[in-house]
A and B are shown apart, each in its own frame.
Chain A
Amino acid sequence: MYIIFPEAYRDGHAIPSAVQAQKNSDQMNGKSKPGLNNSTQTKWVEQMEKIQNSQDQTAFAELFSHFAPRLKSFLLKSGASPSMAEDIAQETMATVWQKAKLFDPTRANVSTWIFTIARNRKIDVLRKENRPEPEELPWGPAEEPDQADVLALQQETEKLSEALADLPPKQAELVKKAYYGDLSHSEIATETGLPLGTIKSRLRLALERLRHRMT
């Protein structure tokens, strides 16, 4: 497909001001979504929705300027060379656009979703291996997702970020190392010390609703 982005965005340096202008105009128009607070994660969900609904290029530019530098850092720590990290980060962001409509905010926040895309690409490039993925369930954003469900999942995921920040430094480092792909499976600790119970409950609810819709 061919998409045309305003000339200004083609220069990476032009993004922040362009994005800032869009943000200001959103605020003036009172466009923020009712029911969602203004946390960063819900902001990314709104940007994803703009890409899904209207192929919004400004929203994509904003996602790019937040996530691409973090992806690059993540990939460097995963053992990629600087040029590989740059390439994988770009490819990951291209996939974010390409697969935008498969993003489901009742099941993952934007960081989680982008992490899974980058992880798979990393395995593909660094290990030259295919990564078998589970069979997809049709729990994509086929219908308008319930905003309360979206908010609940986003909040649970944010609590996970806080829990990670609160771990003793040594333990946090081990968890991060595991996600950089730096440990063999025998080196991985069973207990990460992170509370996964509540987020699992949210995900279970989302899955049960989907199963209900399907029958």
Chain B
Amino acid sequence: MMIKHHLSEKLLLAYSSGNLPEAFNLVVATHISMCDECRIAACAHDAVGGAVLESSDCVEMEPNAFAKTLKLISDQDEPMLNDINIRRSGKSRFPKPLQDYVGGDLNDVRWRSIGMGVKQSILKTSKEATVRLLRIPAGSAVPDHGHQGTELTLVLQGAFVDETDRFGPGDVEVANEDLNHMPIAELGEDCICLAATDAPLRFNSLIPRIAQPFFRI
């Protein structure tokens, strides 16, 4: 997978330090699952977290803290973990973090039509931000929408093009208020995206303005 559009350092730092809403964490974790570069960068930011922990002063634990920790360990029924479960990859398979939220893979998504052939499925997260799967028919446009706050869009399948660039599988677009974009799905297969926003997505009209499929050569 050739990934061209990555997460920003700022987002990676916010993810690593635990400053992102759950909805954004999901997009970041899903992208990292697909992208070695961002996985490496996230690990580097985690290392800074380790340095911050190491530089912390000491606050005395309760006198029986160690005994209580041993009790926590012995109360757990599970044996010491030995292996990481690795799942097989496949075309319609979602990366593990997304799978956990969908409760399955692409075939298990419960889509709801939002007009013009575009479908969405909102995933349940904390309320500070929302995250949804979008399915845009090949050759169609996503209803014209503006942003408030930040929107993160990760392509899972297919590709879309907007005035900034082309975004293919694994690519992530970080959009802020300045971008009033009109993503158009490329011909070929339907474009499936995972999109998070920390403000409500506002479609500019009830019936999306872009009524005709848009063909791009």
Chain A interface residues (CB < 8 Å from chain B): 1-3, 5, 9-13, 15, 55, 61, 64-65, 67-74, 76-77, 85-86, 89-91, 93-94, 97-102, 107-116, 118-119, 122-123, 127-138, 140, 156-157, 160-161, 164-165, 175-176, 178-181, 183-186, 188-192, 194, 196, 199-200, 203-204, 207, 211
Contacts and interface: CB of A to CB of B under 8 A. Distances in A.
> Interface of chain A, helix or strand or loop or mixed?
helix
Q: What interface size band does chain B fall in?
A: 35 or more
Contacts of A1: 73-74, 76-80
Contacts of A11: 63-64, 66-67
A179 B65 contact: no
B80 to A, nearest CB: 6
Contact of B13 (A72, A112, A192, A204): A192
Given A140-B84, A190-B10, 19 more contacts: A9-B66, A11-B63, A55-B80, A68-B61, A69-B59, A69-B61, A70-B53, A72-B61, A89-B61, A101-B80, A101-B82, A119-B17, A132-B29, A132-B97, A134-B96, A134-B97, A157-B51, A164-B55, A178-B19
20 contacts: A1-B76, A70-B54, A72-B59, A85-B59, A94-B76, A112-B50, A129-B22, A131-B18, A134-B33, A134-B97, A136-B84, A136-B86, A138-B84, A181-B18, A185-B14, A188-B17, A189-B10, A190-B9, A199-B47, A207-B40
Given A94-B69, A178-B17, A207-B40, A119 B49 contact: yes
B53 A74 contact: yes
A80 B43 CA distance: 25
Interface in B97-125: 97, 100-101, 125
B17 A179 contact: yes
A183 B73 contact: no
